[in-house]
A and B are shown apart, each in its own frame.
Chain A
Amino acid sequence: MNITEKILARASGRQRVSPDDVVFANVDKVMVHDVSGPGVIKVFDKLKKQGINVDKLWDPTKVWVAEDHFVPSADKVSAENIVKLSNFTKNYGIEKHFKYGMGQYGICHTLSHEEALVLPGEVYVGGDSHTNTTGALGSFACGLGHTDVAYVLLNGKIWFKVPQTLYFKLNGKLPDHVMAKDFILKIIGDITTEGGAYKAMQFGGSGINEMSVESRLTLCNMTTEAGAKNGIVEPDQKVVDYLSSRGATNISLIKGDDDAEYEKIYEYEGSEMEPLIAKPFSPENISIVREAPSVELNKSYIGSCTGAKYEDLVAAAKILKGRTVKIRTEILPASISIYKRAMEDGLLKIFLDAGVTVGPPTCGACCGAHMGVLAKDEICISTTNRNFPGRMGHVDSQTYLSSPLVAAASAVTGKITDPRDLK
């Protein structure tokens, strides 16, 4: 069995599972946020009316709650949702509630790794599609809707069809001007936004071994855009070091068997990778940056679970140091821990000196919620994950997806720019 199959077999109490088997897997961790939380509360209300007991959760210690989409509260409705969420965690005895304005908080997927909330080998589900991100730690991490999350909260398990696995092998390191974001955009361009549908996408090879944990998180994050059930990397010493430095103990290194099977293996040479963008209106609409259309950008946005981790900010700072931005540029670190580190290491000064607006951790404009959404006809380059019509604001706005290096270089020139071509 491969790693995804092994995790699902263990979680469902079976010796062995094969693709297309349906299992009820015991869940190790579950996450809700300020969008899915109120959605789950609504499901609980419906269940109560049907006479189903919702007085107790299966295990409140396995649940954690993030505030990220509409925080700091964007308006009255989102403020009400935050109150609802706080009452919910209080009533059900959930202690891991990361509240904005009270120390560490941030985007749910970022907290999953920054706070070492999920460990290798675990089944982790969250009420958000980018839950796939956390598979980079070697967990089976999968996004679900409100009804399914409510079911997990009450029963501790959920059904899965064991996915087929696509294996993406990266030979050799990526060049310095290329980031994990470029690699995952390349993959989505090759297999399309439906190419990973219902499947696991596993990453391996020497290029992945060389990669930081944060870069692997970027890869797994955007398996969602290929339609995948989960993205995963077999955990190694880097993952152990990463998690133990954040307080985790009892970290087990689970790996696939030597005779693990994959539906298909794709191979890429690291040295051949180039900076890429996804043009509007799909993450599969890929172009090499040097062949990008010559459009006048209105904005550069460096944020989200995909593109505002610490190393993403370091990449942006490398470009912005001693330069000034030509277009509106926002940088929103993905969590308070990253924000603080960026302050301590001088990154915030570089950003502010360059003219950038530095915002608080939030999903913000990535999902068109608030904090810099786009007007009609505005064109943005963004380190986020989706560029469907209206994703970041007006339905007639346009988003180009890129790495933080490209988004920062483009902020300096006002045009889509390869970091190598910056004067």
Chain B
Amino acid sequence: MKGNVIKYARDNIDTDVIIPGQYLKVHDYAELATHAMEGLDPNFHSKVKEGDFILSGRNFGCGSSREHAPIALSHSGIKAVLALSFARIFYRNAVDGAFLLPIEIDQDAYCDISEGDEIDIDIHANQIKNLTKNKTYTMKPFSEIIGKIIEAGGLFKYKPY
């Protein structure tokens, strides 16, 4: 999975900036996408391209349970968020709804990957290749259940029992 990185070098990017509360009444996915990241980066909508990745620090997606957050990012074209860590509801919403991949990275990848870098994520090898800088990083492997739900294509397609 190849794409370019949009980097927000900060911790605690919360759901109120990913999709502000005033849009919680909106359930049109395309409309939500036009407001993605509005609370932090008003230019996000104009610069994001299909297949891009977001890279950020610790506790990405903290705050509310709004599924609007992964929906707004996913319908903006974001295929994965790479972060040092994720808040729990954002993480499970992203996976169970099959909106995007939440990839946990280490400090090395976080510091080294720059805005605009082209990277290639291989979730089977747990590897991230930086094609721009010609470097390789490791990602934290998904836990067993998360791997299975991702493989199935979301919680409703996963048959555990």
Report A's interface with B, CB cutoff 8 A. Answer: 22, 24, 34-36, 38-39, 41-43, 47, 50, 52, 69-70, 74-75, 77-78, 81, 127-129, 131, 143-148, 151, 159, 161, 193-194, 197-198, 227, 229, 282, 367-369, 373, 386, 388-391, 395
Report B's interface with A, CB cutoff 8 A. Answer: 12, 14, 16-17, 20-22, 24-27, 39-40, 58-59, 62-68, 85, 87-89, 92-93, 96-97, 143-145, 154-156, 160-161
A229 touches B22 (CB 8 A): no
Residue of A nearest to B14 (CB): A388
Distance between Cα atoms of A47 and B154 in the complex (Å): 12
A368 touches B25 (CB 8 A): no
> Known contacts being A77-B25, A81-B25, is A159 close to B65, with CB within 8 Å?
no
Chain B nearest CB, measured from A202 CB (Å) = 17
> Known contacts being A161-B145, A388-B17, is A38 close to B62, with CB within 8 Å?
no
Q: Which residues of A contact B68 (CB under 8 A)?
A: 39
A227 touches B65 (CB 8 A): no
Chain A nearest CB, measured from B69 CB (Å) = 9
Residue of B nearest to A392 (CB): B21
Residue of A nearest to B94 (CB): A145
Distance between Cα atoms of A81 and B51 in the complex (Å): 32
Additional pairs, 12, CB under 8 Å, beyond known A145-B67, A161-B143, A369-B22: A22-B143, A38-B27, A127-B65, A128-B64, A128-B65, A147-B93, A147-B97, A148-B92, A151-B96, A151-B156, A227-B59, A367-B64
Q: Which residues of A contact B64 (CB under 8 A)?
A: 128-129, 367, 386
Chain B nearest CB, measured from A232 CB (Å) = 16
Distance between Cα atoms of A127 and B27 in the complex (Å): 15
Distance between Cα atoms of A74 and B14 in the complex (Å): 24
A227 touches B87 (CB 8 A): yes
> Which 5 residue pairs across A and B have the least CB separation, nearest first?
A145-B93, A368-B21, A145-B67, A147-B97, A367-B21
B24 touches A389 (CB 8 A): no
Residue of A nearest to B68 (CB): A39
Chain B nearest CB, measured from A187 CB (Å) = 16
> Known contacts being A161-B143, A197-B88, A389-B39, is A145 close to B97, with CB within 8 Å?
yes
Q: Which residues of A contact B87 (CB under 8 A)?
A: 194, 197, 227
Chain B nearest CB, measured from A44 CB (Å) = 11
Distance between Cα atoms of A39 and B21 in the complex (Å): 14
Distance between Cα atoms of A365 and B38 in the complex (Å): 18
B93 touches A35 (CB 8 A): no
Q: Which residues of B contact A389 (CB under 8 A)?
A: 16-17, 39-40
Residue of A nearest to B90 (CB): A145
Distance between Cα atoms of A148 and B89 in the complex (Å): 10
Q: Which residues of A contact B20 (CB under 8 A)?
A: 368, 390, 395
Distance between Cα atoms of A349 and B65 in the complex (Å): 36
A197 touches B21 (CB 8 A): no
> Known contacts being A151-B156, A282-B12, is A143 close to B27, with CB within 8 Å?
no
Residue of B nearest to A78 (CB): B25
Residue of B12, B25, B63, B66 contacting most chain A CB atoms (<10 Å): B25
B14 touches A144 (CB 8 A): no
Distance between Cα atoms of A147 and B68 in the complex (Å): 11
Pairs across A and B, CB under 8 Å, 27 listed: A22-B145, A35-B24, A36-B65, A69-B24, A70-B25, A127-B65, A129-B89, A131-B65, A144-B89, A145-B97, A146-B67, A147-B155, A147-B156, A161-B143, A193-B62, A194-B12, A194-B62, A194-B85, A227-B87, A229-B88, A369-B21, A373-B22, A389-B16, A389-B39, A389-B40, A390-B21, A395-B17
Q: Which residues of A contact B92 (CB under 8 A)?
A: 144-145, 148
Q: Which residues of B contact A43 (CB under 8 A)?
A: 97
A22 touches B156 (CB 8 A): no
Q: Which residues of A contact B17 (CB under 8 A)?
A: 388-390, 395
A193 touches B59 (CB 8 A): yes
Distance between Cα atoms of A72 and B27 in the complex (Å): 19
Contact of A24 among B63, B89, B96, B160 (CB under 8 A): B160
Q: Which residues of A contact B39 (CB under 8 A)?
A: 388-390, 395
Chain B nearest CB, measured from A245 CB (Å) = 30
Q: Which residues of B contact A193 (CB under 8 A)?
A: 12, 59, 62
Distance between Cα atoms of A388 and B89 in the complex (Å): 17
Chain B nearest CB, measured from A188 CB (Å) = 12
A194 touches B58 (CB 8 A): yes
Distance between Cα atoms of A77 and B25 in the complex (Å): 7
Q: Which residues of A contact B27 (CB under 8 A)?
A: 38-39, 41-42, 81
Distance between Cα atoms of A391 and B18 in the complex (Å): 11
Q: Which residues of B contact A369 (CB under 8 A)?
A: 21-22, 24-25
A148 touches B96 (CB 8 A): yes
Distance between Cα atoms of A161 and B95 in the complex (Å): 14
Q: Which residues of B contact A129 (CB under 8 A)?
A: 63-65, 89
Q: Which residues of A contact B14 (CB under 8 A)?
A: 386, 388
Contact of B66 among A145, A148, A194, A390 (CB under 8 A): A145
